[in-house]
C-alpha cells in the first residue's frame, strides 16, 4: 500500500520539473529565435549598408521602420552576391521583405537618405535569418503523459513571440510619437518666441508713434528773428 503512495508523490515532482524545463525551453526559444535588431542614425544625403553571408536555400526577413526625421521615409534595397537587386523601395516609412536565397554569398541591404538635404533619420530594422527552430527537437519522442504540458508550452511559446512583437511595435510607436511631440513642441516654442519679439517691436513702435503726436514742435530761432 505504501508503494503506490510513494509513486503518486514522485510523479508530480517529475511532472513539474519537466514542465519547468519545457517552459524554460519555450522562453529561450522565443528569445533566441530573434534576429539582429539595430537602430541607426542616417544623416542627410547619406547611405548606410550592411552585409550578411548566407547559405543557399535559407530564408531571411528584413523589417524596417523610420522612427524620426523629415517625412519619416527612407530608401531601401537588397542585393544578392551577384549584384542583382532583389528588393528596392523608395521613400517608404516602413516595410517587410522576405526572400529565400538562391545562391551562397554575401547579401547586402542598404538604407538611403540621399533625397534629403537637411533631415536626419532614425531607422530601426530587424534582420532574421532562417526559420524558427522547434522548442524541443525530441518532442515527438516524449511519453504520452507530457503531451498536454507540451501543448501548453507550445502555446506559451507562441504567446511569448506575440508579446515580443507587440513590445517592439509599441516601443517603435512610442519613439515615433515622442519624436513628433518634441518636433511639435520645438515649433510651438519658436513660434511663441517669434510672436513675443514681434509684439515687443510693435509695442515700442506704437509708443513712439503716440509720443510723437503729443510732442510740441518749437519754432526755429531764425524764423523768430526775421
Q: In the chain, what percentage of residues exceed pLDDT 70? A: 72
pLDDT at 77: 94
What gap in Å lies between CA 210 and CA 206, rounded to an integer? Answer: 6
Give per-residue pLDDT as tens, 33-71.
446 788 888 998 899 999 999 999 999 999 999 988 888
Segments of the chain assigned E as strands:
36-42, 47-54, 59-68, 74-79, 85-92, 94-100, 105-112, 121-129
Q: How far is CA 58 from CA 8, 38, 129, in A?
A: 48, 21, 7
Mean pLDDT of the chain: 77
Summarize the confidence of residues 15-22 as an average pLDDT.
44
pLDDT at 108: 94
Is residue 72 a contact partner of residue 93, using CB atoms and an 8 Å limit? yes
Is residue 71 a contact partner of residue 94, using CB atoms and an 8 Å limit? no
Is residue 122 a contact partner of residue 98, using CB atoms and an 8 Å limit? no
Residue 221's pLDDT band (boundaries 50, 70, 90)?
low
What gap in Å lies between CA 157 and CA 27, rounded to an integer? Answer: 6
DSSP annotation of 36 reads E
What DSSP line would sit under 43-106, residue for residue? -TT-EEEEEEEE-TT-EEEEEEEEEESTTS-EEEEEE-TTS-EEEEEEEESEEEEEEE-SS-EE
Domain boundaries, the chain: 36-131, 135-214
Summarize the confidence of residues 178-201 as an average pLDDT.
89
Helix axes 147-213 and 2-32, enclosed angle (nearest 10):
40
DSSP annotation of 34 reads -
What gap in Å lies between CA 12 and CA 163, rounded to an integer? Answer: 30
pLDDT at 89: 93
Q: Is the pTM of this model over 0.85?
A: no
pLDDT at 147: 67
Torsion (CA) 158, 169, 129, 140 in degrees, nearest 10: 0
pLDDT at 113: 92
Give per-residue pLDDT as tens, 134-172.
666 665 555 554 567 767 777 787 788 788 878 878 887
Domain 36-131 in CATH 2.60.120.680? The answer is: yes
Query: From the centroid of its chain, how far is CA 78?
Result: 19
pLDDT at 35: 64
Cell of 119: 533631415
Amino acid at each position: 500500500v505504501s508503494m503506490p503512495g510513494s509513486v503518486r508523490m514522485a510523479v508530480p515532482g517529475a511532472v513539474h520539473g519537466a514542465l519547468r524545463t519545457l517552459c524554460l525551453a519555450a522562453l529561450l526559444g522565443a528569445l533566441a529565435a530573434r534576429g539582429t535588431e539595430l537602430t541607426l542614425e542616417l544623416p542627410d544625403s547619406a547611405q548606410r549598408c550592411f552585409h550578411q553571408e548566407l547559405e543557399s536555400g535559407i530564408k531571411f526577413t528584413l523589417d524596417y521602420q523610420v522612427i524620426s526625421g523629415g517625412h519619416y521615409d527612407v530608401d531601401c534595397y537588397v542585393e544578392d552576391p551577384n549584384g542583382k537587386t532583389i528588393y528596392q523601395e523608395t521613400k517608404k516609412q516602413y516595410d517587410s521583405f522576405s526572400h529565400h536565397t538562391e545562391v551562397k554569398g554575401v547579401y547586402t541591404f542598404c538604407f538611403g537618405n540621399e533625397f534629403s538635404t537637411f533631415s536626419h533619420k532614425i531607422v530601426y530594422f530587424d534582420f532574421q535569418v532562417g526559420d524558427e527552430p522547434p522548442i524541443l527537437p525530441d518532442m515527438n519522442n516524449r511519453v504520452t503523459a507530457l503531451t498536454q504540458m507540451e501543448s501548453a508550452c507550445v502555446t506559451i511559446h507562441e504567446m511569448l513571440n506575440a508579446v515580443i512583437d507587440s513590445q517592439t511595435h509599441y516601443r517603435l510607436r512610442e519613439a515615433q510619437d515622442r519624436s513628433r511631440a518634441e518636433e511639435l513642441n520645438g515649433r510651438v516654442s519658436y513660434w511663441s518666441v517669434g510672436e513675443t519679439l514681434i509684439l515687443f517691436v510693435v509695442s515700442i513702435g506704437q509708443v513712439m508713434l503716440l509720443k510723437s503726436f503729443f510732442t510740441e514742435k518749437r519754432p526755429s530761432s531764425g524764423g523768430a528773428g526775421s
